[in-house]
Structure 1
Amino acid sequence: MNRRQFLAVSGATAAATVLSANRLFSADLADMKKRVGLIGSGWYGKCDLWRLVQVAPVEIVSLCDVDKKMLADAADMAAQRQLSKKRPRTYTDYREMLKEKDLDIVLIGTPDHWHALQAIEAMQAGADVYVQKPTSVDVVESQAMLAAARKYGRVVQVGTQRRSTPHLIEARDRVLKEGRLGKIGRVEICCYWHMRARGNPPDTPPPENLDYELWTGPAPMRPFCRLTHPRGWRAFMEYGNGIVGDMCIHMLDMVRWMLDLGWPRKIYSTGGILVDKASKANITDTQHAVFDYGDFQVVWNHRTWGDMPDKDYPWAATFYGERGTLKASVFKYEFFPQGKDKPELRGEPLYEYEKYPEDRTEKDLEQHCASAIRWHMQDFLKAIANRGKPVADIEQGAISTIACILANLSLDLGRALVYDPATGKVVGDEEANRRLARPYRAPWVHPHPQKV
């Protein structure tokens, strides 16, 4: 196994332990034959599917996408990559695919505004589900997804794969669990990449290969422009929750996992479109959010303009303790004892090119994330085998998602919000509660936890 400085300082034993556990996963799952379908065959949908194929002899039975070209390309690739070399059936409407009721696993890699409906209907069709983050675009959608998973006894893994990232598992175990930080008083999470769409391209007819009516589905109908599809939809709040819903959820979920945190007591956010007012994008270019846990806070910042405070950690979490500091990202982690300017412990991503040489050439693959997705898939398959909860169970995904949605709602309303998970409501704020479920475009019907 090719390791790129998995640990720079005194971590060989810990690394060996983690790798041994991963090999045990692989051995346990080697004979697991599952029939798989993918809804959303674009960038991350394919990325997730190919990692699943790498770790288990699954059969890709069905692919679905509203973009016919993207769908045909994915089907050709699937025929090359899966063991049987069979070309999967293809569908443009996910409901037709799920009507077959012949899938053990459904992967969902569609834009965020589709996650809830597709995941719930896949569960109702008898499948276990791997759904990309965030779980939803509004609070009630996530509540309904959790209710469906429990009602139908389905295993649902959310694509918050920081929980399965080898060097971050090591950071949690060697730094946090061993108490090297002492009392933690604050965690700062951030994204300073200039990733917000810029420019104001004209509205145009959608391309002939795209069923734009079905692509839009339950979301508000916007005129099409070149930012909309593919991948640019994250620039619009109609389809997601901005950079908080796209990037903050990963870091918040990572912190919650590493520190074993549940729901924040209070959430407050400020920001807006403060600099790039000319862009067609309607998501914030600057945002600050506080997830208050009482004795300490998790504080988010993103800014899509200007310089970043720490170029080594543009998208990251920094844990401040009385005895030291832990910096953690998808690229590395470093532990600095109090008063030291050099790390005592350090780790980097696990690269497995010898076992999976195709990682080197796969188009658009974030190579530093490949092992994390594989481990996340292995955890998912293990949970399916024992009918247990995976590491990123839908309940955990819903907590992180809802917290981010409430941060955006706090920004809009201009006040802090206290969410009661027992009632599924914001305490003492009827205006906020009216906005926990956004209107669906007809004829689509919004899911409800009591009606799944």
Structure 2
Amino acid sequence: MKRREFLTSAAAGLLLTTAPAVGTAPGYAVGMTRRKPRRLGLIGSGWYGKSVLLRFLQVEPCEVVALADADAKMLAEAAEIVAGRQPSGKKPATYGDFHKMLADHEFDVVLVSTPDHWHALAAIAAMKAGADVFCEKPISTDVVEGAAMLAAARKYGRVVQINLERRSTPHLIDARDRIVREGKLGKIGLVEVYCYYHMRTSGNPPDENPPDYLNWDFWTGPAPLRPYNPLIHPRRWRSFKEYGNGIIGDMCVHMLDMARWMLDLGWPRRITSSGGIYVDKESKANVPDTQLASFDFGDVTVVWQHRTWGSSPDPDYPWGATLYGDKGTLKASVMRYDFIPQRGDVVHQDVVYELDEYPEDKTEKDLERHVAPALRRHVRNFLDCVDSREQPVADIEEGFISSSACILANLSLELGRSLTWDAENLRVAGDEEANRHLARSYREPWRHPTPEAV
């Protein structure tokens, strides 16, 4: 259904969405259509939190009830934007602490768009409060956090979609269906995934007092409390290992997950990584500027490389994946794909834009316009699964696998050795030192979640 058709339906007081045949979903009576807009909450009102939330409003006339963020300035700006975009015109309530937001309101859906180090606690709290969850990637900063999130989703019967939106990117779905699934690549033995963006923050300004509008202690949460620095917040926290998994956790997770989705791969059997800070040694950033990782899936190996310096080997593919088969090669990215067969014509397709249908995409601040169609499709899949209670295309378990593989690559780099992964028991085989690193230390008073205790 097109966006304007949804709004017309809402004006008539009814969304044309059929209720599940068995059981009930939020907002329904059994066998009836939805009578009220879905109630949405957002935890983390920064750049991508707003981008995803506004796609929800494009897909369906939801009601954004409340927003939470430790940055009061960012929070107030987001509330104004939402009031101008949601059908009711109401300004959502705002909270500095998401726990209070979850206690004060009932939500059908909660979006978790915090920095990575808050994902687990925020998502689990939202699930316990009765909401289905749309969560950013990587799902966690350590393996045990991710396992706890998966356990909570299953225990409380929640639908959880991870924002690995390559699985919903129109031209990449076409590449999977027309090229990979039709066997045009032949036997695939190697996939290269890579990123050559100069995205690691640079500079070394002095630490300073946090701005008055930022609750730095709560922003830090369970992570180690380091002094505030303007290089960290907003948006550049990804360059600091205290809050995320570096570029491999930010960028590899997308392309590794895309390869897993296209090739129906599960857990890697063995993970090996090397790298470090080789070029930009002056920056305050502490994640690698250069990293290699190998994920052994048995019959196929996926190899990652990032450099935040130098040039890309292929200017058309600075971030993407190359699938090598004995009948051809597929290059795929967020902007395009190219299939180069051993014999025959090259197949090329560009990203799909929807700027005429969604003109607000043209002027929305900081929107990745090429990603907006994929986000809308990802959101629609999630909401349909909220109604049907089926697993979405990027279910929490898929996000757990892809995120954990990247986390294990960082652990391999740290320990200086390969890791053999026991997926059944979620352990590194024969390596107790590595297993002690599967859960990081939490700062008081926060408690690390476990699968057994959610």
Other-structure match for 2:318:
314
Other-structure match for 1:356:
358
Other-structure match for 1:424:
426
Task: Give, as a single letter, the amino acid of the residue that structure 1 aligns with 2:242.
Answer: E
Other-structure match for 1:385:
387
Question: In the aligned structure 2, how far is the partner of 1:266 from the partner of 1:212?
Answer: 38
1:401-421 superposed Cα distances (whole Å, 9 cap, x missing partner): 000000000001111111212
Identity %: 62
Other-structure match for 1:57:
61
Post-superposition offset of 1:302? 0.2
Alignment of 1:280-359 (within 5 A): 280-338=284-342, 344-359=346-361
> SS of the counterpart of 2:153?
helix
Question: In the aligned structure 2, how far is the partner of 1:352 from the partner of 1:207?
Answer: 38
Question: In the aligned structure 1, how far is the partner of 2:442 from the partner of 2:421?
Answer: 23
> SS of the counterpart of 2:356?
coil
Other-structure match for 1:396:
398
Task: Give, as a single letter, the amino acid of the residue that structure 1 aligns with 2:373.
Answer: S
Other-structure match for 2:21:
none
Other-structure match for 1:225:
229
Question: In the aligned structure 2, how far is the partner of 1:364 from the partner of 1:76?
Answer: 16
* Paired residue total: 426
Other-structure match for 2:172:
168
> SS of the counterpart of 1:237?
coil
Task: Give, as a single letter, the amino acid of the residue that structure 2 aligns with 1:393.
Answer: D
Other-structure match for 2:23:
none
Task: Give, as a single letter, the amino acid of the residue that structure 2 aligns with 1:292.
Answer: D
Post-superposition offset of 1:201? 1.0
Other-structure match for 1:73:
77
Question: In the aligned structure 1, how far is the partner of 2:383 from the partner of 2:40?
Answer: 12
Task: Give, as a single letter, the amino acid of the residue that structure 2 aligns with 1:271.
Answer: G
1:97-149 superposed Cα distances (whole Å, 9 cap, x missing partner): 01124111000111000000000000000000000000000000000000000
Shift in CA distance, 27/306, structure 1 to aligned 2, threshold 3 Å: farther
Post-superposition offset of 1:424? 1.5
Pair 1:183 & 2:187 matched: yes
Other-structure match for 1:110:
114
> SS of the counterpart of 2:332?
strand
Question: In the aligned structure 1, how far is the partner of 2:255 from the partner of 2:309?
Answer: 20
The TM-score, its normalising length taken from structure 1, stands at 0.92
Q: Which runs of 5+ in 1 are unaligned?
A: 2-25
1:135-177 superposed Cα distances (whole Å, 9 cap, x missing partner): 0000000000000000000000001000000000000000001
Question: In the aligned structure 2, how far is the partner of 1:183 from the partner of 1:49?
Answer: 40
> SS of the counterpart of 1:368?
coil
Q: Quick one: which of 156, 172, 177 aligns to 2:160?
A: 156
Other-structure match for 1:434:
436
Post-superposition offset of 1:33? 2.1
Other-structure match for 1:20:
none
Task: Give, as a single letter, the amino acid of the residue that structure 1 aligns with 2:144.
Answer: V
Post-superposition offset of 1:53? 0.4
Post-superposition offset of 1:422? 1.6
Question: In the aligned structure 2, how far is the partner of 1:238 from the partner of 1:339?
Answer: 49
Other-structure match for 1:98:
102
CA contact (8 A) 1:193 1:315 kept: yes
1:219-266 superposed Cα distances (whole Å, 9 cap, x missing partner): 001111111110010110000000000000000000000111000110
> SS of the counterpart of 1:418?
strand
Question: In the aligned structure 2, how far is the partner of 1:306 from the partner of 1:76?
Answer: 41
Pair 1:261 & 2:293 matched: no
1:364-391 superposed Cα distances (whole Å, 9 cap, x missing partner): 0000000000000000001101001000
Question: In the aligned structure 2, how far is the partner of 1:258 from the partner of 1:154?
Answer: 25
Tell me which moved more, 411-420 or 128-137.
411-420
Shift in CA distance, 186/67, structure 1 to aligned 2, threshold 3 Å: same
CA contact (8 A) 1:101 1:126 kept: no
> Where does structure 1 differ by over 6 angstroms across 4 or more consecutive aligned residues?
none
Other-structure match for 1:17:
none
Q: Which runs of 5+ in 2 are unaligned?
A: 2-14, 19-32
CA contact (8 A) 1:39 1:106 kept: yes
Post-superposition offset of 1:354? 1.8
Q: Quick one: which of 238, 254, 263 aligns to 1:234?
A: 238
Question: In the aligned structure 1, how far is the partner of 2:100 from the partner of 2:93?
Answer: 11
Task: Give, as a single letter, the amino acid of the residue that structure 1 aligns with 2:432.
Answer: E
Question: In the aligned structure 2, how far is the partner of 1:420 from the partner of 1:120?
Answer: 25
Task: Give, as a single letter, the amino acid of the residue that structure 2 aligns with 1:346.
Answer: H
Other-structure match for 2:134:
130
CA contact (8 A) 1:101 1:125 kept: no
